[in-house]
Amino acid sequence: MQLILISGLSGSGKSIALTVLEDCGFYCVDNLPAQLLPNIAGYLDRAGHARIAISVDVRSSGTLDQLPQIITQIKEQGFDLRLLFLEAKTDTLVKRFSETRRRHPLSSDQFTLKECIQLERDLLEPVGDLGHRIDTSDLNPNTLRAWIKEFVDFDRSRLTLLFQSFGFKHGIPLDADFVFDVRCLPNPHYDPVLRPLTGKDAAVAAFLESDASVQKMLGDIRRFVEDWLPCFIRDNRNYLTVALGCTGGQHRSVYFAEKLMEHFHTDGQQTMVRHRELS
């Protein structure tokens, strides 16, 4: 049985995730206390459900500290379990709560909304380290839906190497394991012909490949990932996210993400590529 746990910050998109998984054929359960996970998983397995998605979040905060041991217990029972953790920047969450006029689950007379969000972030931090993190701060719902479908479809027995481009002026993605800054390289933005294009276009690639410093940095990042990737595989990691950032996230970072993905895919590694600002 395939079991996906959904967790993360309130307002980060967990409801969207559950809806996507339900559309993909998963039997979905929302807001389940962590200590009930083994019993529910066993029951649904015996009932013939092959794909199950369960949301566990701060609403059952009294049992979150038990979640790491419970996940280990469920895996030892032979279930194919993965955890997807959604998060977003505090200012983004404040805006979302203001727009929807919903109460935060930790709301009280003693805390402001920002304080509630920080408390929730602290409570969930150990949970986030257990799975694949997605920063939804700058994602529209359709992009999030597509990324969740990718998460479901990939081979769960192998580490997935994810290359993500972004623009520093929009903030560093919270879900990155490594962040590389390529803003020191020549910028196609200043060429009027290249400005409307992206790092996926041949003309931009040719512009960047004509500069020796671009190829040197690309080689340095590639060797760094090659050197340390075996350590993450031995650590039984399911995902490793390498973020490449330039100023706007349109040209240089996109080119680097595409080239690194192509290299490691050709080398036999399971890879994904995401372009945050292009989405």
Q: Which tens digits make up the pLDDT trace of 126-154?
A: 888 888 999 999 899 999 999 999 888 87
Q: What band does 109 get if pLDDT is binned at 50, 70 and 90?
A: confident
User: 161 and 240 in contact (C-beta within 8 Å)?
Assistant: yes
> Going from the N-terminus, what domains does the chain have, and what CATH number goes with each?
2-153 (3.40.50.300), 160-275 (no CATH)
pLDDT of residue 277: 95
pLDDT tens column, 49-70: 999 999 998 887 677 888 888 9
pLDDT of residue 187: 97
The DSSP annotation for 211-252 comes to -HHHHHHHHHHHHHHHHHHHHHHHTT-SEEEEEEEESSSSSH
Q: Which of 139, 137, 147, 202 has its CA nearest to residue 174?
A: 137
pLDDT of residue 57: 87
pLDDT of residue 19: 94
pLDDT of residue 126: 85
Residues 6+ apart with CB under 8 A from 43: none
What are the DSSP E strand ranges found in the chain? 2-8, 27-29, 51-55, 80-87, 132-135, 160-167, 178-181, 239-246, 270-275
In order of 55, 118, 265, the CA distances from 269 in angstroms are 30, 37, 5
pLDDT of residue 134: 95
Q: What band does 236 get if pLDDT is binned at 50, 70 and 90?
A: confident
